[in-house]
Amino acid sequence: MAKVRIKSKQWAGFSSFLGPTKFTNGVSDEHVDHKEGQRLGAIMAVELIDDDGNVLGNAGTAQAQVDMKGMKAPVEPKKIMVSDKYEHQTEINAGPVEFGNNVKEKPESEKVAEDLENEISEHVDDEEKAEEKPEITYDRKALEEIADEDGIVGLRIIGESKNVRSNSIESLITKILKSQG
């Protein structure tokens, strides 16, 4: 904790209360806690001082940001990337390319992986076909019963399956019936 001194020349001789803090000649009579220092720093430019009058720093988050304005971030030297250094070269240092009868067979692990992928994709296709459901047709009476039991939420579930939306029960029922033909 430290005392607070007002930095403005106009307030240098201020001797009174500013909130709960009493000032004499622009300096707080008692130490202020961090929160009070931040509050005073938000009102005006103030600095924190010790009992001997040595400046400890500015109070207030805005003042702290102003103080950091002149700070420079450390700059690391430019790293030379391999692509920058050898950009002009077109030779690629790769292994020999094999054509025709010299093509090697895939390792057993790759064959097993491909077989598993094919089985999984066939299984997924079968599940998608099983999930296809026949379209249900509703009449006005059934839709009104759903509205009585589940409200507009129940109708919206049906409406989503038929790409129909509305914000009232009556118009949603009408749109669902129209979408069914």
Q: What is the pLDDT of residues 46-71, one digit of tens each?
A: 899 999 989 988 888 877 777 778 77
> Is-contact 165 156, C-beta < 8 A?
yes
pLDDT at 4: 93
Tell me what the pLDDT averaged over the chain comes to.
Answer: 78
Distance separating alpha carbons of residues 131 and 34, to the nearest angstrom: 64
Phi, psi of 116, deg, nearest 5: -65, -40
Identify residue 130 by its one-letter amino acid code: A
The confidence band for 174, taking pLDDT boundaries of 50, 70 and 90, is: very high
